[in-house]
Amino acid sequence: MKRNILFVGIMALVVMLALSSCENDYPPSVWNPDDPGKPTPVITAIVPADTSYEGVGIIDIYGHFFSANPAENLVFFNAGRGTILEADTNHLKVKCPVLIESPTQNAIDSVKIKIAVQGAYLFGEYKKPDGTFRPYRLERAAIEYGAFDATNKPHALEVGPDEALYVATEAKNIYKVYYDNAGNLVTEPFATNLAISIISGMRMGKDGKLYFVRKNKSIYRVGAGEAKVEWAKNTASSGNLNDLDFDNNGIIYAVGNGDSIFAFNSNVPSPKSKGVFYSKGFDFCAVRYYDSYLYVAGKYTGTNPNISPKAVWRFKITSTAGGLDTLEQVFDWNAYVGATGPLIQSLAIDEEGDLYIGSMETYNATPAYVKTPALTKYNMMTKTAEPFYDSILYPPATHMAWGTRNYLYITRLTSDETASGAPKIRVIRVSMPINGAPYYGRP
């Protein structure tokens, strides 16, 4: 027994000596205890200082010891990373990340903003002058607005002078959506029992009443609590009216799939239809007035090879009676999205004259919803187009109406909610970085 114990002890000693004599094959350490690292980044200011929009908001971070190489800066919003758009040693321009996960949550408070710079050992933090953490707030730029879904399908929209939203639904009613004095969002009937399920275009007139079309020959008018009336009728065309808009002289332009664009004078009690453009082969889905031009969007199935199958066009308005000059192509949508790409469904214009084109959604054969841009912004100065807010908006953008401020309202009338990945039918309010174009219809 003693021999066994002695043998085990001797073998253990041999192994220890063998291990201690082995060479270390690990590479030399990269740690240099004498390297102090780069200076810790310092945040002196953020613009805007307290609040921005997730996914689309752009903030400017000012301070010291940033890297001029964008890839060497990391900006964290809690655990989310912003996108560095521009960088120098004292300034970073950053796009905020999407942080909000709950569909019923419209904002997240107490976001911690921190900066890491390659080579610096410590984070730079957004702090108050007393050195304590300064919370940041990220809001949704696009929120669900009003009580609308598949059981109360929304269609055409309009906004009043007090920013109240009017929504026509398949329930044959028009609803008014507004914030009351207590800050509650209220959805209440404006006009009921209209006997019309699909209103395709709607605008407010100087009298505070709503003028609308429903894909037939007539323009209707209705006020709060009133029964609708047939205000005017197109008697000269076999086609139907899809949309309408006012110009600065009180002329209502109505467009559709007939053989003409029609002008109606809202300043007289019984206006007559007047054809102002022979539009055989066109199917216009949207019309908007801006700065003496009438913009129309839609498709063309005629025989003229020089006209795009899908586009935005415009006409110079030549008279106070609604006369139009020749057709001018503004944006070849067919060339932009391709022959099989989504159709245009709506159109909006901002105060600088740039266009926002709302498109239809796309599905594959599964069927599964295919995420494409809901809005495309076309810059009239540079003649360039790019997706707008594509990280937070989902097509379709079936109808659009710009409010009196920087809010754009969108009907998202998804055609197949059951398709994989498809968004729900909703009305969406979008906070825009700019106001809409002047509108001459509302009081």
Where are the chain's structural domains?
Answer: 42-139, 142-431
**Among 145, 143, 120, CA closest to 56:** 143
Percent of residues, the chain, with pLDDT higher than 70: 92
Percent of residues, the chain, with pLDDT higher than 90: 85
Decide if 207 contacts 200 (C-beta within 8 A). Answer: no
Count CB atoms within 10 A of the CB of residue 196.
20
H-helix or E-strand spanning residue 403: none
Q: Which residues of 392-404 are buried (b: 16+ CB within 10 A; e: fewer)?
A: bbbbbbbbbbbbe
Which structure tokens are listed for 174? 């028009």
pLDDT for 14: 44
Question: Confidence class of residue 25 from pLDDT cuts 50, 70 and 90?
Answer: low
Count CB atoms within 10 A of the CB of residue 172.
15
Q: Which tens digits make up the pLDDT trace of 233-261? A: 987 667 899 999 999 999 999 999 987 89
Stretch 284-290: mean pLDDT: 98
Q: Is the pLDDT of residue 188 over 90?
A: yes
Question: Confidence class of residue 7 from pLDDT cuts 50, 70 and 90?
Answer: very low
**Among 34, 75, 33, 37, CA closest to 58:** 75
Question: Confidence class of residue 13 from pLDDT cuts 50, 70 and 90?
Answer: very low
Distance CA 402, CA 65 (A): 43
Question: Confidence class of residue 365 from pLDDT cuts 50, 70 and 90?
Answer: confident
pLDDT for 275: 86
pLDDT for 146: 94
DSSP 8-state symbol, 23: -
- State which amino acid sits at residue 242: N
pLDDT for 270: 84
Give Dmax (Cα) for the chain.
123
Question: Confidence class of residue 269 from pLDDT cuts 50, 70 and 90?
Answer: confident
Q: Which tens digits make up the pLDDT trace of 397-411? A: 999 999 999 999 999
Question: Confidence class of residue 12 from pLDDT cuts 50, 70 and 90?
Answer: very low
Q: Is the pLDDT of residue 224 over 70?
A: yes
Q: Which tens digits make up the pLDDT trace of 53-62? A: 999 999 999 9
pLDDT for 28: 62
Q: Is the pLDDT of residue 282 over 70?
A: yes
Does 367 sit behind a cis peptide bond, omega within 30 degrees of 0 on the bond before it? Answer: yes
Q: Is the pLDDT of residue 367 over 60?
A: yes
Lowest mean pLDDT among 46-50, 237-241, 259-263, 344-348: 237-241
**What's the topology of domain 42-139?**
Immunoglobulin-like (2.60.40)
Q: Is the pLDDT of residue 8 over 70?
A: no
425, burial (CB in 10 Å: exposed 0-12, middle 13-18, buried 19+): buried
Decide if 60 contacts 92 (C-beta within 8 A). Answer: yes
Which structure tokens are listed for 86? 């521009």
Stretch 312-325: mean pLDDT: 96
What is the CA angle 319-324-329, rounded to 5?
140
Check residues 143 and 28 and name the one with the higher pLDDT: 143
Q: Is the pLDDT of residue 46 over 50?
A: yes
- Supply the CATH classification number for the domain 142-431: 2.120.10.30
Stretch 69-74: mean pLDDT: 97
Evaluate whether 42-139 and 142-431 have a shared fold: no
Distance CA 169, CA 190 (A): 11
Q: Is the pLDDT of residue 322 over 70?
A: yes
Distance CA 384, CA 380 (A): 7
In which residue are the tokens 């970073």 written? 92
Pairing of strands 73-77, 83-88: unpaired
Distance CA 401, CA 39 (A): 50
Decide if 399 contacts 412 (C-beta within 8 A). Answer: no
Check residues 266 and 20 and name the one with the higher pLDDT: 266
Which structure tokens are listed for 176? 């008014």
- State which amino acid sits at residue 68: A
